[in-house]
Structure 1
């Protein structure tokens, strides 16, 4: 893999900001742009992919060349409107390889056509069907970035409330978990080269629709975060969405839960997507995969941690 200077990557992201921020660019065009950004993550050699359907939801199954057991369910980001399983398969392949697992990436329905709670109910259905098909929750981890990170947290609280077995651990990359401050337009402005609060202020109401944006299924930071599995969080110092992770950390601590929060100063929202070209991203993905694997190993001590 080649390394590109973070300043060059930052400049490229900043140059694309006007198109992402414009309300005049159709969502279809923005989806193509996100496919280009996420597709820059090239999977490790020997990774195999299969298209499938689980509970009526299209998924991509990811099979790294070497695994040590277990399953990663990955919920992609994109403001609930952008992103796809195909576009994210490179990043997920690296994370699954680092965790020693296979992976499943659901293509949940996106806004503005599909509003809350459609994506959440689809993910409950996918998880439930996988359980019926023999998925072992004790060797399963659920992870996601940005909107997918918020959806991961909402999914896990829904599983708890419905009496379904929880996964062994959660991984949250720059989670978007407080859409209310975007509806209220009070998100702080930081130094991110791409993400502006005006963007999240546009995406949040499209997903929430007529529902209260403080509903825990939309903004998990306002819900009960007790009784959840261990959580590993990664945030970036320049990301305006990083304040959501601070709220998650405080809520989990108040509930007596386990949360490991690693902060990466001087980096931007979802920098993990540059895993193929940025050394810091590779180190972060490897770190997250190993951390998730350790939580699985605590339940199954005979499971080896993957070497990366």
Structure 2
């Protein structure tokens, strides 16, 4: 992989200016959208829709075949982000997997604190099932806070007696709002994006005075038994590295099939930089193959892993 690309990305991320005073939630959302938004890729048609009572974005790639569906949950610290900011990432994953996707505009803090996002994730998942999507034709993916929300959604679905999807892929999931992972401090200098204070501020807005160790807020503390096969990808240079590592360990201890990938020299949700970072493209290809390999027999790639490019 390209050391030059990794170094250039690290320098670019470190060059982002930091506000002298804490920005308002709206200012953070505007900055997040300006920095991260990428449109749906060529060959992917996007349409506005509603799912589980919330606005959503359908992403239909021209590579899609069979009944497979992807539910995508975007990142943004439960404060920022939307299906529009993540249309590129979700669309790329959908295109590479050959799956129709839907990305949900779940409610954000601080206007809608925990557990509003979990309620919206569960409502979206429930509607997909109730409108005819076979759970074995359904996969889930998410990044950062959306990764934690993905696991929380499936825990809530399990408690509601709903079947689990075929597989889950998570990019740098944030699953510990208590900030007890060692990397939250040890990786602060290596992380070009976040500090411990940044992450704590997001947790303050999302959970407030609530129980930050509650399983639906911090799924790293949950019993994960019964969840579907799980792929977790993270970068070595991120303060949330231990969230990914401990989630994978907890899943394994709870008898869940799990694959953990840690990319050396890579930042938080490095998959966002597809098309300009070789590691991002390779990771998305692996995630796409992982998801399709676990789909039901109706998908042409079910049970068949293509060679890694």
Q: TM-score, normalised by structure 1?
A: 0.92
How many angstroms does 1:247 deviate by? 1.1
In structure 1, C-alpha distance between the alignment counterparts of 2:29 and 2:21, rounded to whole Å: 14
- Which runs of 5 or more structure 2 residues have no equivalent in the other structure? none
Structure 2 counterpart of 1:284: 283
Deviations 1:261-298 (A, max 9, x none): 111010000111111322211111111111111111xx
**Alignment partner of 1:119 is 2:121:** no
Which is richer in helix? 1
1:45 and 1:65 in contact (8 A); partners too: no
1:102-139 superposed Cα distances (whole Å, 9 cap, x missing partner): 10000001011110011101111111112121112111
CA RMSD, Structure 1 to Structure 2 (Å): 2.2
Show the 5 A alignment for 1:179-198: 179-181=177-179, 187-190=184-187, 191-198=190-197
Q: Note the 1:1-308 alignment, pairs <5 A.
A: 5-16=5-16, 18-19=18-19, 23-39=21-37, 41-69=38-66, 70-181=68-179, 187-190=184-187, 191-296=190-295, 299-300=296-297, 303-304=300-301
3-state SS of paired residue (1:53): strand
Counterpart contact for 1:17–1:194, Cα < 8 Å: no
Shift of residue 78, structure 1, vs aligned partner: 0.5
Partner-residue secondary structure (3-state), 2:14: helix
Q: 1:29, CA displacement in angstroms?
A: 2.0
Aligned length: 300
Contact 2:75/2:147, CA 8 A, preserved across alignment: yes
Contact 1:178 1:219 in 2 (8 A): yes
SS of residue paired to 1:199: helix
Structure 1 residues 56, 42: closer, same or farther in 2, change over 3 A?
Answer: closer
Bigger RCO of structures 1 and 2 (CA < 8 A, at least 6 apart): 1
